[in-house]
């Protein structure tokens, strides 16, 4: 059964930044895009680059190793045939929570 798990505090992720967190054996990249939060699987499947170390381009993150650009909302790569898992995110008070199975 899926449940909401606190993974960070809002203050841990200033606007237009990312943060890598590990929860339940998963490495997640958290993104704050002007107060809207997103969470993706942190590892690029093409080259194992850490998306939390990538550059933000609007609602996209670029893998730091290769030119893969992923949509923050879906995890879909717009430059290659690749995808990372996207997770639902909500903010409750100062807590950033991710929905995990």
Q: Is 5 strand, coil or helix?
A: strand
Counting the structural domains of the chain, the total is 1
Q: What is the pLDDT of residue 67?
A: 86
Q: Is 11 strand, coil or helix?
A: helix
CATH code of residue 49: 2.102.10.10
Distance CA 7, CA 1 (A): 18
C-alpha distances (whole Å) from 26 to each of 5, 17, 22, 43 are 12, 20, 5, 10
Residue pLDDT, tens place only, 55-92: 999 999 999 998 899 999 999 999 999 999 999 999 99
* Residue 45 domain boundaries: 3-100
Mean predicted confidence (pLDDT) in 36-45: 97
> What is this structure's pTM?
0.95
């Amino acid at each position: 059964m899926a449940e909401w798990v606190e993974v960070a505090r809002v203050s841990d992720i200033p606007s237009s930044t990312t943060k890598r967190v590990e929860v339940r054996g998963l490495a997640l990249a958290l993104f704050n895009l002007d107060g809207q939060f997103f969470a993706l699987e942190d590892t690029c499947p093409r080259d194992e680059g850490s998306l939390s170390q990538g550059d933000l381009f609007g609602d996209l993150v670029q893998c730091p190793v290769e030119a893969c650009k992923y949509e923050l909302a879906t995890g879909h790569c717009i430059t290659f045939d690749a995808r990372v898992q996207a997770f639902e995110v909500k903010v409750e008070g100062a807590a950033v929570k991710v929905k995990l199975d």
